[in-house]
Amino acid sequence: MPAMNAAPEAIPPAIPPAVPGTIPAAIPLGFAEPSLDSQRVFRAVLEALARPGQPQRLAGLADAPRPLTPELAAIALALADHEAPLWLDARLAAAPDVAAFLRFHTGAPVVTDPAAAAFALVADPADCPPPEAFAEGTPEDPDRSTTLVLAVGHLTEGIGMTLAGPGIPGRVRLGAGPLPADFAARLRRNAAGFPLGLDHLLAAPGLVAGLPRSTRLVAEG
């Protein structure tokens, strides 16, 4: 299983930090039990990356500001911190409440350069930037890369992409959508560059599936 990524070289956050000691009334609550809830989400993410293409149950944050999905919110609150910057896609960046919520609950900088992010939150996968826009690690430090967290409408086992690689017993099939039109080509490129590359988390209602850089897309037939 790949290690949780170290943050790429950070750039100044696009949004200034909150004033210490203040709790903006308009910001929704995060985890009800921050320590326990974040540990549960963290374990679900680790299990998803250890068992690629095999969805794991994930409890989302129902009060997350839209268009941030409950699952994207839960993953961000469990993984991001002041040393793990976040990048938001155009749909999320257009909603100031999203950045304020994430910055307040995680302390993470919200950056405008996707290559500076430890985690990229993507609410509109069809419009996700190409892989080379993100940090893919270096030969000296492959884990200094971006993890892409994509909101999808469904995760369905037994149909769709055929996957193989570490953590997969033989082969598994995973249906997910919506995804970038060239997602299959992105996965092939990603696996070919191993140990460099991007780790992917697909977050659907109540579920999360991992596609680490070691996972290969297998041709049918």
Answer whether residue 79 is part of any domain: yes
Secondary structure (3-state) at 59: coil
Cα–Cα distance, 109 to 111 (Å, whole number): 6
The CATH number linked to 167 is 3.40.50.11310
SS (H, E, C) 137-165: CCCCCCCCECEEEEECCEEEEEEEEEEEC
- Position 5 in a domain: no
Domain assignment present for residue 12? The answer is no
Percent of the chain with pLDDT over 90: 87
Residue 25 lies in a domain: no
Residue 193 lies in a domain: yes
pTM of the predicted model as reported, rounded to 2 decimal places: 0.88
Q: What pLDDT digit, counting tens, does each position of 50-97 carry? A: 999 999 999 999 999 999 999 999 999 999 999 999 999 999 999 999
Cα gap 2→199, rounded to integer Å: 8
Domain of residue 180 covers 34-213
Contacts of 154 (CB under 8 A, 6+ apart): 175, 176, 177, 204, 205
Structural domains in the chain (count): 1
218 occurs within a structural domain: no
